[in-house]
Chains A and B, each alone.
Chain A
Amino acid sequence: MDHQNIVVRPETTNTLQVPSSPEQLEDIEDPLGRSYDSVVIEPGRKSFGFNLNELWRYRELLYFLTWRDIKVRYKQTLLGATWAVMQPLLLMAIFTLVFARLGGIKSEKVPYPIFVYAALLPWTFFANAVTNSGNSLVGSTNLITKVYFPRVIIPAAAVAAGLVDFSIAFILLIILMIYYHVGLHAGMLLLPVFIVMTIMLALGIGMLMSALNVKYRDVRHALPFLMQIWMFSSPVMYPMPVGWRFHWLFALNPMAGIIEGFRSALFEKAFDWFTLGTSAVIILLILIYAVFSFNRMEKSFADII
């Protein structure tokens, strides 16, 4: 449906075979080849799967929207990017006080502060990414009703923008690890896998929430609440229960797998392959389902937003 001719069309070269004006030269050198698009618009097109070719052509828009989100986020704030660290850091302090000091929760082999920080790092990223991308489409109403581009770029950019905060918070993790004398080991090499899993899950949930939000603004009110419940039901402030009958329930929560993965990778703990594998499969299913539903709903965004 969306083919690109690499050849120059006959009508542009009907006088000469070589480009005679700078105009024509430019056209030929257009690196994106966008000058030769042929598009057919019909009802019911594009019912499954993204047009990857088109997504690739719009990659710069993803870059610019991500860049805008980052650029704008801490404008006119006193603390600026410090906010990226403040959130997990303050939560770490509070959780340490409440759960470790008062509640007496055991934190496996490592000190509680770094134990909880290792979970807050992916969790904060995930929660912020889902909240931001969930509200992203509604917040871009004027774009959606005025310009065409693959809509998925909007929630995706919101997730991508969260990666900057994640990186800053990650630096603090390294500092904490040095402070608490956590040594380097081979398990850490798996960390990128868990980061990618977090991104995929955030993207999947974010896409679903953003699309749903277009139709029902209830999502905006439900999201913070949902994220709160999700955090309490994930092993963020407590370790995975060992030897519990309903241990498998945690495996159904992909964030549990991710958090366990982070902790195992960082603190040289044995990987719980069952939970990790289940999480990976669930994340994949969520993402595929999100792509599918987003595509289905995308067409009506401009009409109902």
Chain B
Amino acid sequence: MKPIIQVENLGKRYRIGAPQAAYGTLRDTLADIARAPLRLLSRNGQADKPLIWALRDVNFEIAKGEVVGMIGRNGAGKSTLLKLLSRITEPTTGRIELNGRIASLLEVGTGFHPELTGRENIYLNGAILGMARQEINRKFDEIVAFAEVEKFIDTPVKHYSSGMYLRLAFAVAAHLEPEILLVDEVLAVGDGRFQRKCLDKMQDVGKQGRTVFFVSHNMDAITRLCPRAILLHDGQVFRDGPSHEVVNSYLSSGLGTTAVKEWTDPTHAPGNDIVRLRSARIITETGEISGAIDIRRPVGVEMKFEVLTAGHLLVPNLHFNNGEGVCIFHLQDLDPTWRRRPRPCGIYTSTAWIPGNFLSEGSVTVGFAVSTVDPVTVHFFERHVVAFQVIDSLEGDAARGDYAGPYPGAVRPIMNWTTEYSLKDSTDLEVSNIAGY
């Protein structure tokens, strides 16, 4: 099957520096324009001006119905790529083939006019985004209901609150029915409740078999909504693959942490003369090293350390922090075999198992330490040694159930619920029963 988006050797070069200086004087250009028909083929290259490649040699394909996330630091070329895909600007090199109607939400509310009413702006904005009038007519009520502005639909939008304005703008965009939807951070719109609605809508779009290309800094949203992600770095595709892996490599590239860390040279490992860290690993229940953990599955954090001096009471302990840097919890080894028992020299491998349906989604970094409790001595404490990504499930069997939006909380356990049911308030019923008895 032909890919719906095909990008080959795409490059975009910008000239940096003041554009006025770079483009000469008005007189020059007037003369230039007069000669234009003759110079059709020889565009004058201003070779001496500093050039910068915002994108270079970008290649990827997106199949119909794929939902792909794009991540990368500021300046990595994400916006430039979106602008090229949406045909706002022209590439310097390479080629893009689009095999479907494309719509981009680079900024919601593009073309909104403050003097026009909500109703008028829906039509105007719809037309700008490429909707036919009949299409807007058909979806008008749905758009208004989605934006929750029924009462103010005939009021000029300049009198709207900023929240109403953004809701209306997103509502129009969300009801486009393109085959390819480019989305750039629009989820930063409105209050939490509306954000959730937007995420749900995005998900619907994906489920309808449309192709979505989603740019965001919200890694949780990327891993949840997009099975695949592309990481851009310095204008090039740095990684392209399953989103949890790509997100993980993005997050860890900043911190220098991955799912595994080993010290080959023991003298440089954290520790002292008594105990030294040898390796740290994140493993799945089958024992494989993995940086991406399904929220429903248990995850093991394995610490390998060497005891160099025998006879000490040693307690391995682990410090878990989430992506916001919040300490989620702290674990210490309570294994009865070695508790309150001086350890002989040798290599120990201790693994803490964190059950499934406990951690919240997102990135988790783990700090490793070995201490003695009495007197309190920290033999080593190494922060952010390893990291992994918890991937939430949308299959309905995780804590979030059938809800797809942002889900707060440092942990995400599944708890037992009980329900009692009766037709009437049970206490009334009992009283009447007793009275009648």
Interface residues of A (CB under 8 A from B): 11, 23, 26, 30-32, 34-43, 45, 47-48, 60-61, 63-65, 67-68, 71-72, 75-76, 142-149, 212, 215-216, 218, 289, 292-293, 296, 299-300, 302-304
B100 at the A interface (CB under 8 A): yes
Q: Which residues of B contact A35 (CB under 8 A)?
A: 100-101, 179
Which residues of A are found within 8 Å of B127, using beta-carbon distances?
Answer: 60-61, 63-65
Contact A11 B64 (CB under 8 A): yes
- Number of residue pairs spanning A and B whose beta carbons lie under 8 angstroms apart: 129
Which A-B residue pairs are the 6 nearest by beta carbons? A148-B87, A64-B127, A41-B96, A146-B110, A302-B89, A39-B98
Q: A72-B116, A148-B87 are contacts. A34–B37 as well, Cβ < 8 Å? A: no
* B93: A residues at CB distance < 8 A: 43
Tell me whether A148 and B90 are in contact (CB under 8 A): no
Q: Which residue of A lies closest to B96 (CB)?
A: A41
Q: How does the 8 Å CB contact mask read for B215-249 relative to A, with 1 for contact and 0 for none? A: 00000000000000000000000000000000000
Q: Which of these binds chain A: B130-138, B256-264, B280-288, B303-311?
A: B130-138
Q: Are A218 and B26 in contact (CB under 8 A)?
A: yes
Query: CA separation between A35 and B131, bound complex, in Å?
Result: 11
Q: Which residue of A lies closest to B11 (CB)?
A: A43
Q: Which of A11, A31, A68, A147 has the most CB of B within 10 A?
A: A147
Determine the chain B residues whose CB is within 8 A of the CB of A31 once the complex forms.
Answer: 132, 134
Report B-chain residues with C-beta under 8 Å of the C-beta of A38. Answer: 97-99
Q: How far is the CA of A112 from the CA of B91 in the complex (A)?
A: 58
Can you list 14 pairs linking A and B with CB atoms under 8 Å apart? A34-B101, A35-B101, A35-B179, A37-B102, A40-B95, A40-B98, A41-B90, A43-B92, A68-B113, A148-B104, A212-B29, A292-B36, A293-B36, A303-B14
A292-B95 Cα distance, complex, nearest whole Å: 24
- Cα(A26)–Cα(B101), bound, Å: 14
Contacts of A146 in B (CB 8 A): 88, 104, 106-107, 110
Give A61 to B107 CA distance when docked, in angstroms.
19
Report the separation of the CA atoms of residues A303 and B40 in the bound assembly, to the nearest whole angstrom.
20
A296-B36 in contact (CB<8A):
yes
Residues of A within 8 A of B377 (CB): none
How many angstroms from the CA of A40 to the CA of B102 in the assembled complex?
12
Expressed in whole angstroms, the Cα–Cα distance for A76 and B116 within the complex equals 11
Contact A148 B88 (CB under 8 A): yes
Complex contact A34–B130 (CB within 8 A): yes
What's the nearest-Cβ distance from chain B to residue A149, in Å?
A: 7
Q: Which residue of B lies closest to A41 (CB)?
A: B96
CB interface residues, B 76-128, toward A, < 8 Å:
83-102, 104, 106-107, 110-111, 113, 115-116, 120, 123-124, 127-128
Please state if A60 and B1 are interface contacts (CB–CB under 8 Å).
Answer: no
| Chain A binding surface, main DSSP class | helix
- Closest Cβ–Cβ distance, residue B80 to chain A (whole Å): 10
Residue of B nearest to A14 (CB): B1
Taking a contact as CB atoms under 8 Å apart, the answer to whether B19 and A75 are in contact is no
B111 touches A143 (CB 8 A): yes
A46 to B: closest C-beta gap in Å = 9
The reply on B275 being an interface residue by CB < 8 A is: no
Q: How far is the CB of B246 from chain A (nearest CB, A)?
A: 25
How far apart are B117's CB and chain A's nearest CB, in angstroms? Answer: 10
Interface-central residue, B19, B64, B85, B130, by most chain A CB under 10 Å: B130
Q: CB distance A216 to B116 under 8 Å?
A: no
A149 touches B133 (CB 8 A): no
Contact of A60 among B40, B132, B177 (CB under 8 A): B132
Residues of A within 8 A of B124 (CB): 64-65, 67-68
When chains A and B are docked, how far (Å) is the Cα of A75 from the Cα of B157? 13
Q: Tell me whether B212 is interfacial, beta carbon within 8 Å.
A: no
Q: Is B145 in contact with chain A by the CB < 8 A criterion?
A: no
**Cα separation A19 to B324 with both chains bound (whole Å):** 48
**Nearest CB to that of A61 among chain B residues?**
B127
Q: Least Cβ distance of B317 to chain A in Å?
A: 52
Collect the chain A residues with CB atoms within 8 Å of residue B421's CB. Answer: none
- Give the contacting residue for A37; candidates B88, B100, B111, B132; CB below 8 A: B100
B86 contact set on A, CB distance < 8 A: 147-148
Complex Cα distance, B98 from A47, in Å, reads 20
Q: Is the CB of A39 within 8 A of B133?
A: no
Structural contact, A47 and B40, CB atoms closer than 8 A: yes
Min distance, Cβ B322 to any Cβ of chain A, angstroms: 35
Cα–Cα distance between A138 and B421 once the two chains are bound (Å): 66
Given contacts A40-B95, A41-B84, A292-B36, contact A72 B113 (CB under 8 A): yes
B23 at the interface (CB under 8 A from A): yes
What's the minimum C-beta distance from B104 to chain A, rounded to whole angstroms? Answer: 7
Nearest Cβ distance between residue A150 and chain B, in whole angstroms? Answer: 10
Give chain B nearest CB distance to A270 CB in angstroms.
36
**Residue B422, interface by CB 8 Å:** no
List 6 additional contacts besides A48-B40, A142-B111; criterion CB under 8 Å. Answer: A36-B100, A39-B98, A43-B94, A71-B115, A292-B36, A296-B40
Closest CB of chain B to A217's CB: distance in Å? 10
Expressed in whole angstroms, the Cα–Cα distance for A299 and B12 within the complex equals 13
Q: Does B208 contact A (CB under 8 A)?
A: yes
Task: List chain A residues, Cβ under 8 A from B1.
Answer: 11
Please, which residues of chain A bring their CB within 8 A of the CB of B19? 304
Whether A215 contacts B23 by the Cβ 8 Å rule is: yes
Please give the distance in Å from B57's CB to the nearest CB on chain A: 14
Query: If the complex has contacts A41-B84, A41-B90, A42-B95, are A215 and B133 also in contact, measured as CB distance less than 8 A?
Result: no
Question: In the complex, what residues of B have CB within 8 A of residue A40's CB?
Answer: 95-98
Query: In the complex, how many angstroms separate the beta carbon of A11 from the nearest chain B beta carbon?
Result: 6
Q: Confirm or deny: B274 has a beta carbon within 8 angstroms of a beta carbon on chain A.
A: no
Are the C-beta atoms of B110 and A143 separated by less than 8 Å?
A: yes
Give Cα A42 to B110, complex, Å: 25
Cα distance, A168 to B95, chains bound together (Å): 49
A31 to B133 CA separation, bound complex (whole angstroms): 10
What residues of chain B lie closer than 8 Å to A43, measured between beta carbons? 90-94
| B96 x A147 contact (CB < 8 A) | no
What residue of chain A has the Cβ atom nearest to residue B112's Cβ? Answer: A142
Contacts of B94 in A (CB 8 A): 42-43
Q: Does B33 contact A (CB under 8 A)?
A: yes
Is B132's CB under 8 angstroms from A142's CB? Answer: no
Contacts of A68 in B (CB 8 A): 113, 116, 120, 124
